[in-house]
Amino acid sequence: NNAGIIIAGSIDQIGVDDLNYVLDVNIRGVTNGVQAAYPLMKEQGFGHIVNTSSMASLIPNGEGFSAYGTSKYAVIGLSLNLRVEAARHGVYVSALCPGVIDTPILKECGGKYGKSKSGLSQEAIDNFLDKIYASRFHPMAPTKFAAKTLKLVGKNKPIIIVPGWPWEMVYFWYRIFPSLD
């Protein structure tokens, strides 16, 4: 169950309309998927809903990503609460929190439907992405991501972080030392 766009920029830069757009796609896209699938799974007595959130829901991502992080944090809340509700009906629920995956959302200012209002040029964004690709946090290939994710879905974890290294460690340290943002 996957829906996501990024409109980068501080809250005052993106404005109300763009903030609502991010929330509509990233939250309501997921809730619409849940509303479509959950009643069927509940009726049949089994199933597994995997809602795509983001590492941005678990750790702050810095200036310019408050709207995105807020929307993905709501997906975590939905997933963890629905997990408790659905368990008695034989339905599992997990929240998938990808690290950096090599998908279009990384490029073109947040993918086909995203945009940047941060004032950064496409060249500056591309230079930043080049640094990410060259770092330890380099993006994982989508096929490798899918294989690892499916294995972890089979373990019915409430929160699935892929790739595990280094993102599970970053999340662990953030929970212990939240002031180190």
Catalytic residues: 68
pLDDT at 65 over 70: yes
pLDDT at 122 over 80: no
> Strand locations in the chain, DSSP E?
7-8, 47-52, 91-98, 115-116, 159-162
Which DSSP string corresponds to 62-86? -TT-HHHHHHHHHHHHHHHHHHHHH
Q: What is the mean pLDDT of residues 60-88?
A: 94
Q: Which two tokens stand for residue 25?
A: 């796609």
The whole-angstrom separation of Cα 157 and Cα 95 is: 8
Give the tens place of pLDDT for each residue, 124-152. Answer: 777 766 776 677 778 899 999 999 999 99
pLDDT at 172 over 90: yes
Give the tens place of pLDDT for each residue, 83-115. Answer: 999 999 999 999 999 998 988 876 656 667 788
Q: Which two tokens stand for residue 176?
A: 């212990």
Distances (CA, A) of 147 to 22, 158, 162: 28, 18, 10
Least reliable range by pLDDT among 49-63, 79-93, 111-125, 157-171: 111-125
Q: Which residue has the tokens 């702050």?
A: 60
121-125-126 Cα angle (round to 5): 115
Question: Between residues 141 and 181, which one has the greater pLDDT?
Answer: 141
Give the tens place of pLDDT for each residue, 32-50. Answer: 999 999 999 999 999 999 9
Percent of the chain with pLDDT over 90: 67
Indicate the average pLDDT of the chain. 90
pLDDT for the residue 110: 61
Q: Which two tokens stand for residue 148?
A: 């690892």
Can you give the pTM of this predicted structure? Answer: 0.90
Question: Between residues 23 and 115, which one has the greater pLDDT?
Answer: 23
Percent of the chain with pLDDT over 70: 91
